[in-house]
Amino acid sequence: MRKIRLLLLALLILAIPAAAFAQFEVSVAIAPPALPVYVQPMAPDAGYLWTPGYWAYGGEGYFWVPGTWIQPPTVGLLWTPGYWGWGGNAFAWNGGYWGQQVGFYGGVNYGYGYGGVGYQGGRWQNGQFYYNRAANNVNVTNIHNVYNTTVINNTTVNHVSYNGGAGGVTARPTAAEETASRGQHTPATSVQTQHERAASTNHELLASVNQGKPAIAATAKPGEFSGQGVVAAKQAGAPYKAPANNAAATKAAATKATENKAAENKAAATKATENKAAENKAAENNAAATKATENKAAENTAAETKATENKAAENKAAETKATENKAAENKAAETKATENKAAENKAAAARTNENKAATPKPARAPAESTKEPTAHAQPAARPATTAKAQPAPRPATATHPQPTPRPATTAKAQPAARPAPAAHAQPAARPAPAAHAQPAPRPAPAAKAQPASHPAAAVHAQPEKAAHTSGG
């Protein structure tokens, strides 16, 4: 930051001679001649602004710098003419400059819009310069940006070319002119400087030669001192008075003027430095305030952004938590339903197994024997074997030829007389297998092996009937 301030200060010092010091270019003890009377040449083209002629001072005394049309350095700028002003012991030249507004030029009436205060010769509008035809000589065929506003010039007074001192203009700057004088200025362009230098080398333009009536009073373009654009003065503004040849007085006045100029330059430089320092301080304060405001805005924005992000994160976390809880609840519900379903299936299977175990198995029908079909099918009636084992009734062989007792087969074929399965379904009445497991009482084969006893078939069928009856 310190380097930047030093650089700005250096640039300011370099700029002072062109801006501030240009206000006091030279000072002499002799008043300049009156302004000559001349006609303004026609504007060469649109965009040119009129700069009035003036008396400058050189090694051979005063010389006339012709008025001319100049293109401004930047669109929107207006020219404030230079003027001679009395400083108490000498006349000092205050150089002209370009600016947004026309400043104080000593109240000198240069004519053609410069009547002593401001400028009525034209104005800038939408980036183009419009000419007041009442104050300027323009060709409306080539230049169309024109208007017409009456300009009142006091032609009864002489054409005094300086402010203050004996016989000078007594005008003082207005508040607006002082403001314009303190504004940003652009010094005379290089074209204007060359135009003045060319005039200083032209012998005919010396006041001592032309007696206040120069042969080249104005030109259409800068530096063109011959041709159709050159206008000669019609007359001198006032009778010319040659300065007294007093070298000592002139030298003393020049010395004093030089001292005054040095003092004025120093004061101007000091003032400019102070103003610049104040401007830099104000700029720094303004920059600091702006930076603080920007930082505060950035902090607020960051805080709002952080709050928004935190809120979004909280909402997202809440949504995620809710989703996880919902998934956990769904999973738990599915697991519970699965467990309940498994428990129900298991209970149903257990009940089915219990019911199945409680249901009695149907008695397996014994294989029918071709020899003892009836007695073998009824295990509960096994006690009949006792009667069957009685060999006593063997004499019945005599009755064997009788085929009539065969109805026993009929009794065997009756399916309705098989109530044994119902009796078998009762678990309490299962002692029969124990009786069935006794293999000893099977003597029947021995009796069966007697072929001669065929008639005993009828006797053998009877125990079944007796057994069935006793089982009932």
Which residues have CB under 8 Å from 186's CB, separation 6+?
73, 74, 77, 97, 98, 99
Residues 253 and 239 in one domain: no
Looking at the domain assignment, is residue 381 inside a domain? no
Report the b/e string of 115-134 with b at 16+ CB within 10 A: bbbbbbbbeeeeeebebbee
Residues 69 and 208 in one domain: yes
Residues 112 and 256 in one domain: no
Looking at the domain assignment, is residue 326 inside a domain? yes
Residues 184 and 115 in one domain: yes
Domain boundary among 243, 269, 297: 243
| pLDDT value of position 320 | 86
Residues 158 and 256 in one domain: no
| pLDDT value of position 342 | 87
Residue 420: other Cβ atoms inside 10 A: 17
Report the b/e string of 259-286 with b at 16+ CB within 10 A: ebbeebbeebbeebeeebeeeeeeeeee
Q: Does the global pTM surpass 0.95?
A: no
What values do phi and psi take at 42, rounded to 5?
Answer: -70, 145
Contact 453, 400 (CB under 8 A): yes
Looking at the domain assignment, is residue 383 inside a domain? no
Domain boundary among 326, 357, 388: 357
pLDDT digits 0-9 by tens, 267-296 = 767 776 776 777 777 677 777 777 877 888
Looking at the domain assignment, is residue 366 inside a domain? no
Residues 182 and 284 in one domain: no
Domain boundary among 243, 258, 284: 243
Domain residues for the domain of 175 are: 18-243
Residues 206 and 310 in one domain: no
Looking at the domain assignment, is residue 384 inside a domain? no
Q: CA-to-CA distance for 285 and 435, rounded, in angstroms?
A: 129
Which residues have CB under 8 Å from 222's CB, separation 6+?
68, 69, 70, 191, 192, 194, 195
Looking at the domain assignment, is residue 164 inside a domain? yes
Tokens in use for 371?
A: 């020899």
Residues 209 and 68 in one domain: yes
Residues 133 and 214 in one domain: yes
Residues 146 and 123 in one domain: yes
Looking at the domain assignment, is residue 423 inside a domain? no
Provide the residue-wise pLDDT of the chain in tens; the chain has 472 residues.
444 444 443 444 333 333 333 344 577 889 999 999 999 999 999 999 999 999 999 999 999 999 999 999 999 999 999 999 999 899 999 999 999 999 999 999 999 999 999 999 999 999 999 999 999 999 999 999 999 999 876 544 578 999 999 999 999 999 999 999 899 999 999 999 999 999 999 999 999 999 999 999 999 999 999 998 999 999 999 988 877 654 444 555 556 556 766 776 787 677 767 767 777 776 777 777 778 778 888 888 888 888 888 888 888 888 888 888 888 888 888 888 888 888 888 988 888 888 887 766 555 555 444 444 444 444 444 544 444 444 544 544 444 444 544 544 444 444 444 544 444 444 444 544 444 444 555 554 444 444 444 444 433 444 444 444 334 3
Looking at the domain assignment, is residue 8 inside a domain? no
For the chain, the domain total comes to 2
Residues 302 and 222 in one domain: no
